[in-house]
Amino acid sequence: MEFSKAFLTIFALQALLITSAKHLTAPATSDIFREYIGAEFNNIKFSDVPINPNVEFHFILAFAIDYTTSSSPSPTNGKFNIFWDNDNLSASKVSAIKKKHSNVKVALSLGGDSVGGGSAYFSPSSVDSWVSNAISSLTNIIQEYNLDGIDIDYEHFQGDPDTFAECIGQLITALKKNGVISFASIAPYDDDEVQSHYLALWKSYGHLIDYVNFQFYAYDAGTTVSQFMNYFETQTSKYNGGKVLASFSTDGSGGLSPENGFFTACQRLKSKKELHGIFIWSADDSMSRGFPYEKQSQALLAISH
């Protein structure tokens, strides 16, 4: 009996040590590269974008929105419809790119800035009805398109922060519990209203959010490397414990551009073991230039940590 107890104790300790070792050896940095695609209807295809086999590559379809698809779109209380370039980025194209590249996953982003020429609002009738509709409609889309995750990119709100937190938090909880998605991300930027909603979500449901696609390109176009580093530190402290990804835009809108030192900043983050990954807005804008910064971003991430 005493031998059995001792054996069980040793076995339990071994299991604990193995589990601890897994956490201790987990890299502080990551090789996640993510890119939004499909919002601008310029005939871009998944196969146009260069994919480095040594990174985890996430395409993010932009966007699915809970609005009608009529000429004058109106809110549908969580009943999502497809608003990305579905002709060129169809379900069969998703399957084809994932079959060709084993390191590729595909997500869809919810919301976005605009729809039909106006702002796209988060506009729930109630928490329960919105969540129920969202789970149903998104499960259908995700399963039809063989998608892997969702990204939350609402930027305009007709609900208070707590309502947003409960709607989105319950949605992510259900989709993960049901095995519909394997990851979820959020895409806030430095705006008081936006931050109040996403930080409320983070406070209650941050443990379910795998990546923070912080829109650093929403800062001024003249952003310097040192400013970027300060912004990154500030947002990392706000989304405490989260994988905040470095980001830039190829539409020339703002933030720290590759020309002005984005990759210098990434090297600094990497040396501090704080580079959790990179995302770009967007493949659509990069296509005319031949994707040089997509290649450079992935090459940087693929270097052994």
155 is catalytic: yes
Coil, strand or helix at 227: helix
Closest CA to 191 of 136, 235, 152: 235
Coil, strand or helix at 106: strand
**What does the CA dihedral 42, 141, 116, 122 come to, rounded to 10 degrees?**
-130
Task: Number of helices (H) and strands (E) in the chain: give both, helices first.
Answer: 9, 13
CA-CA-CA-CA torsion sign (123, 128, 129, 135): positive
- Alpha helices for 78-211 (secondary structure H): 91-100, 127-145, 161-177, 192-205
Residue tagged active-site, from 155, 166, 259, 274: 155
State the Cα–Cα distance between residues 270 and 212, nearest whole angstrom. Answer: 17
Closest CA to 278 of 251, 304, 243, 246: 246
The 8-class DSSP code of residue 240 comes to: T
Catalytic site residues? Answer: 155
